[in-house]
Amino acid sequence: MLDPRLFRQNPEAIAGALSIRGYDLDLDTYRDLEKARRDLQTEMESLQHERNIVSREIGRAKRSGEEIEPLVSAVGDLGLRLEVIRTEFNKVHEELQGYLLTIPNIPDDSVPVGETDEDNRELYRWGDVTEFSFEPKDHVDIAGDSLDFEASVRIAGSRFSVLRGPLARLHRGLIQLMLDIHTDEHGYEELYVPYIANRESLTATGQLPKFEDDVFFVSSEVDSFLIPTAEVPVTNMVRDQILDANDLPLKYVCHTPCFRRESGSHGKDTRGLIRLHQFEKVELVQVTHPDRSWVALDEIVNHAETVLKRLELPFRAVSLCGGDLGFASAKTIDLEVWLPGFDRYREVSSCSNFLDFQARRAQARFRPAPQTRPELVHTLNGSGLAIGRVLIAIMENYQDSQGRVHIPDALIPYMHGVQYLEFES
């Protein structure tokens, strides 16, 4: 959430800053709510002041032996009026908070101007696009019966998958490789977290209330949802906490399934493993001192890149334009791996700096020094990486003319020494 003080000081400036996203800020609604809040607060303070004066008069009258019944009655009337105004104030305050929760983060000045992913700015490339002496297949044709969509439809419906045999082992090996790299080499603490989160947790990270239709609702009894990403439970590790400055940065890595409705996707994106309702990710989260968050963003990008380089998969890095930026992000760098079956680069990691946007919603703070006032931390995350899409990249980039998939050297120890996979059609 943006700082309410910024709105009160200069809402027009915020509207201008958000325009790079193509976001049209409803200033009339804000002004109406803020005026109502301000007027009610003034009236409430005036009534409280008046009641305090009368209460003091009651004390003086008692000491002087004067009649106090009219004064007591006046205090009662003021109390009733104050309760009515306080109720109205709380209602308007709640409406204003709800309005502020729907407003996205302000993009950093370095974010490119643009409306769609076509306007994202390419930063650099690593590795050469894979070339073949034969007509390459996509991952669905390569996998054959090891990718069992008939079973997944029977079990859960469309947009799920069942991986069998060697493909399931390759999937598991990728998870283990990524966790080992991030814990052993990059210094992240591994977490295991719930796959269900409450409304407060998804509100803190920005999925709610704006994107409630995109997540799977679990239970009205406890108002809970399946997690759309490990970002939600991991970031909420610091919700309502006051951290010691010496403990920053906190660096967490977590593997979870992710559950998303993906209702807007269509066409070739729905073929195979590219866009499912359930998929796996290894997520990187950092909680940092505000002075260090841009350094931390570079670190997360580098850490995610390490996995792609270790697997020798060609990729590129792009800076997302304003129109393609996620709701809570001030800046995002995407890593996109080359997929021969799609003849294009596809995103496998989005690395984002949220500044204090999530921390304000989560009330995640740190104390700069003993006896000082707590300040908001900065939060960041990035996929390290999306398992299913890396699985696709390995199958499509490491295929040979016989239909086999060769295992990248870094993965061979996780595959019990197997150097290539063969699939039954």
The CA distance from 349 to 178, in Å, is 13
Tokens of 151: 């079973």
The CA distance from 331 to 353, in Å, is 6
- In the predicted structure, residue 262 carries a pLDDT above the cut 90: no
Model confidence band, residue 263 (pLDDT cutoffs 50, 70, 90): low
Nearest to 256 by CA among 280, 225, 224: 280
Reported as a single tens digit per residue, the pLDDT across 396-425 is 999 999 999 999 999 999 999 999 999 876
Tokens of 220: 């009205």
The CA distance from 399 to 393, in Å, is 10
Q: What is the mean pLDDT of residues 95-111?
A: 97
The CA distance from 236 to 185, in Å, is 25
C-alpha distances in Å from residue 193, one per residue of 197, 349, 382? 10, 20, 17
The CA distance from 415 to 333, in Å, is 31
Least confident of 127-141, 203-217, 233-247, 261-275: 261-275
Specify the pLDDT at position 268.
54
- In the predicted structure, residue 91 carries a pLDDT above the cut 80: yes
Specify the pLDDT at position 264.
54
- In the predicted structure, residue 58 carries a pLDDT above the cut 90: no
Task: Report how far apart the first and last C-alpha atoms of the chain are (Å, whole number).
Answer: 51
Q: What is the mean pLDDT of residues 74-92?
A: 92
Specify which residues 399 forms β-bridges with: 405
Number of residues written out for the chain:
425
Q: Counting beta carbons within 10 angstroms of the beta carbon of residue 63, is it exposed (0 to 12), middle (13 to 18) or buried (19 or more)?
A: exposed
Model confidence band, residue 76 (pLDDT cutoffs 50, 70, 90): confident
Task: Return the active site residues.
Answer: 260, 275, 347, 350, 389
Specify the pLDDT at position 71.
81
